[in-house]
Amino acid sequence: AQLVSAFRLMRRIRPDIVHAHWLLPGGLIGALLQELPGADFRLVVTAHGADVHLTGGWLSGLLKREVLRSADLLTVVSRALRQKLLQSLPQAAIEVAPMGVDLQTRFVPGHESPETDTLVFAGRLVAKKGVADLLEALPRVRARRPEARLLIAGQGPLEADLRALAGRLQIGDAVEFLGSVSNDRLPAVLHRAGLAVLPFCTADDGDAEGLGLVTVEAMGAGIPVIVGDVAAVHDVITHGDTGWIVPAAKPA
């Protein structure tokens, strides 16, 4: 369906450039469009993370190589992703171009004082975000700071498991699941907190953050950040200077 829609759009506007996000499926659709009648454009493909970290088997690898062959320019959102791709494509021309964040009008410091004992996490509720480790850590935090509470902004396939874990850890009253939060509402959520905790890790399937854009958003909002130590965060955080980098998947 996406291919059909893209083809119709290409025929209507005759683009000079098609910018495809993710190697699969976006990059593949861009590569297929180049083979269709009337196609006359340059193809830019941006890889974001999972499309690089997850192998997906031989067919996925074959399709990704076809995308890379077809692309006039390949960009990635962090230096870590560039290094990962160069391991298998040492001759590839790959530019690092992080995704943008509005640090002028949207993700800026708030006017009111934050709730000092409130922590915030924002992101999809999937394994590589490390939310389970954050919940495991919270009882230790509350032993020192009994008023500490956690806001979780986001939704995903692990939500039910994370709610159950909060119950087993007897911290349900200290954890607020906010569900999906739109980008325009996220600054207000960040401004409520005294600290953003983004405990990124490498999932069992090998998936990891491509950049961790929410880290930049929190910093723009004036919120100190703690992040899990995965390769991509070093593009954004200098430990002890612009934030804290802690061992991944270690609640202690």
First-to-final CA distance of the chain: 47
* Burial class (CB within 10 angstroms; exposed 0-12, middle 13-18, buried 19+) of 57: exposed
- pLDDT (tens place) for every residue of the chain, 252 residues total: 999 999 999 999 999 999 999 999 999 999 999 988 888 999 999 999 888 887 678 888 888 888 988 999 999 999 999 998 888 777 778 999 998 999 999 999 999 888 889 999 999 999 999 999 999 999 999 999 999 999 999 999 999 999 999 999 999 999 999 999 999 999 999 999 999 999 999 999 888 998 889 999 999 999 999 999 999 999 999 999 999 999 999 999
* Burial class (CB within 10 angstroms; exposed 0-12, middle 13-18, buried 19+) of 45: buried
Check if the beta carbon of residue 98 is closer than 8 Å to that of residue 75: no
* Burial class (CB within 10 angstroms; exposed 0-12, middle 13-18, buried 19+) of 66: middle
- Classify the phi-psi angles of 206: left when phi > 0, otherwise alpha if psi is within -120 to 50, otherwise beta: left
* Cβ burial 170-192 (10 Å sphere, 16+ → b, else e): ebeebbebbeebeeeebbebbbb
What SS3 state is found at 18?
strand
* CA–CA gap between residue 77 and residue 147 (Å, rounded): 37
DSSP 23: I
**Residue 68: per-residue pLDDT:** 87
* CA–CA gap between residue 190 and residue 196 (Å, rounded): 8
Q: How many CB atoms lie within 10 A of CB 23?
A: 28
Cross-strand bridge partners of residue 243: 239
pLDDT tens digits for range 42-62: 999 999 988 888 767 888 888
What SS3 state is found at 113?
coil
**Residue 84: per-residue pLDDT:** 87
**Residue 5: per-residue pLDDT:** 94
